[in-house]
Amino acid sequence: MIMTKKIVFATGNAGKVKEIRMILADLGMEVLSMKEAGIRLDIEEDGTTYEENALIKARAVAAHTDAIVMADDSGLEVDALNKEPGVYSARYLGEDTPYSIKNAEIIKRLEGLEGEQRSARFVCAIAAVFPDKSEVTTRATIEGQIGFEEKGTNGFGYDPIFYVPEFGKTTAELTEEEKNQVSHRGKALELMKKELMRYEESHCSK
Ligand code: IMP
Residue 108 to residue 204: CA distance in whole angstroms? 55
Instruction: Indicate the DSSP class of residue 91.
Output: T
Select the more confidently predicted residue: 166 or 22.
166
Q: Which percentage of the chain shows pLDDT scores above 70?
A: 97
**Domain extents in the chain:** 6-203
Residue 51 to residue 91: CA distance in whole angstroms? 17
Work out the pLDDT band at 24, boundaries 50, 70, 90. Answer: confident
Residue type, 115: G
Q: What is the mean pLDDT of residues 139-143?
A: 98
Work out the pLDDT band at 8, boundaries 50, 70, 90. Answer: very high
Residue 93 to residue 109: CA distance in whole angstroms? 13
pLDDT beyond 80 at 1: no
Q: Which of 55-69, 76-90, 108-122, 191-205 has the lowest mean pLDDT?
A: 191-205
Ligand 1 pocket, residue 159 CB under 6 Å? yes
Ligand 1 pocket, residue 155 CB under 6 Å? yes
In this prediction, residue 2 carries a pLDDT of: 47
| pTM for the full predicted model | 0.93
Ligand 1 pocket, residue 122 CB under 6 Å? yes
Atom of ligand 1 nearest to the CA of 72: 2
Contact yes or no for 61/34 (Cβ under 8 A):
yes
In this prediction, residue 205 carries a pLDDT of: 54
pLDDT beyond 50 at 119: yes
CA of 111 from ligand 1 middle (Å) equals 23
CA of 61 from ligand 1 middle (Å) equals 21
Work out the pLDDT band at 29, boundaries 50, 70, 90. Answer: confident
* SS3 state at 93: coil
In this prediction, residue 18 carries a pLDDT of: 83
In this prediction, residue 10 carries a pLDDT of: 92
Residue 103 to residue 162: CA distance in whole angstroms? 10
Question: Pocket of ligand 1, candidates 89, 91, 105, 161: which has the most ligand atoms within 8 Å of its Cβ, to mutate?
Answer: 89
CA of 157 from ligand 1 middle (Å) equals 6
Q: What is the mean pLDDT of residues 77-95?
A: 97
Under CATH, to which class is 6-203 assigned?
alpha beta
Ligand 1 pocket, residue 11 CB under 6 Å? no
Angle at 192 (CA atoms; ends 191, 195), nearest 5 degrees: 100
In this prediction, residue 12 carries a pLDDT of: 79
Residues in the chain: 206
In this prediction, residue 75 carries a pLDDT of: 97
